[in-house]
Amino acid sequence: MADPTPVKDLGKSMMNQAFVVTAMVLLIFYFVYTGKVQPDEPVTLEISATQGTTTPGKDIPVAVSVKLSNNTKEGISLTVPTQCDTFNWFLTGPDKEFVQAKGTEDVCPKTAVSTWLEGEKAMQENFMLQLDPARVRPGEYKLFMRYWGHEMTQDITIK
């Protein structure tokens, strides 16, 4: 008959298992808390904004990358009222006062636009925002964006 495992080895094994379980719970909590994983959201929007090189007296370029992910197994239809509504944005200052918004350079026909996003897939686009230096000074701002009807805000710092 084999010797039973000594008590000190059982205690050590239980401590190792408790450590692994605690680490897993903390990792899951971190991803859910920071918004990197949104388990209840069928569609998630991720945005990153980075300021380009500025030239005095010229527009301030901000590169925006948007990623819309379908977290379900079924495809979804995305529809907006016009082509100009696929991507909209506006900028507010630290006091939540309006600073600037997307210009209306294009004339859009009043025709709905649709696309299809397959299940467990994502679509990504890049946009270049041109901020008016007469309105935007160095400092902290909030960038509000809507992409295919899904909204998100991003804190940005203009240098």
Q: Of 31-35, 44-48, 122-126, 152-156, which gets the smallest average pLDDT? A: 31-35
CA distance 155 to 159: 13
Contact (CB, 8 A) for 32 and 40 = no
Tally of structural domains, the chain? 2
Co-location of 28 and 51 in the same domain: no
DSSP state of 2: P
Co-location of 67 and 96 in the same domain: yes
Q: Which residue segment(s) compose the domain that 10 sits in?
A: 1-37
Contact (CB, 8 A) for 151 and 45 = yes
Instruction: Return the CA Rg of the chain.
Output: 24
At residue 37, does pLDDT exceed 60?
no
Tokens of 52: 């380009």
Nearest to 51 by CA among 136, 148, 145: 136
> Does an H or E element contain 156, and which?
strand 150-158
Name the strands in the sheet holding 98-101, side by side, starting at the edge strand that comes first in the sequence. 98-101, 87-92, 139-147, 150-158
Mean pLDDT of 114-118: 94
Mean pLDDT of 5-13: 69
At residue 41, does pLDDT exceed 70?
yes
Co-location of 24 and 52 in the same domain: no
Co-location of 26 and 98 in the same domain: no
Q: What is the CATH number of the domain that holds 61?
A: 2.60.40.2360
pLDDT above 70 covers a percentage of the chain that reads 86
Q: Of 2-6, 7-11, 64-68, 84-88, which gets the smallest average pLDDT? A: 2-6
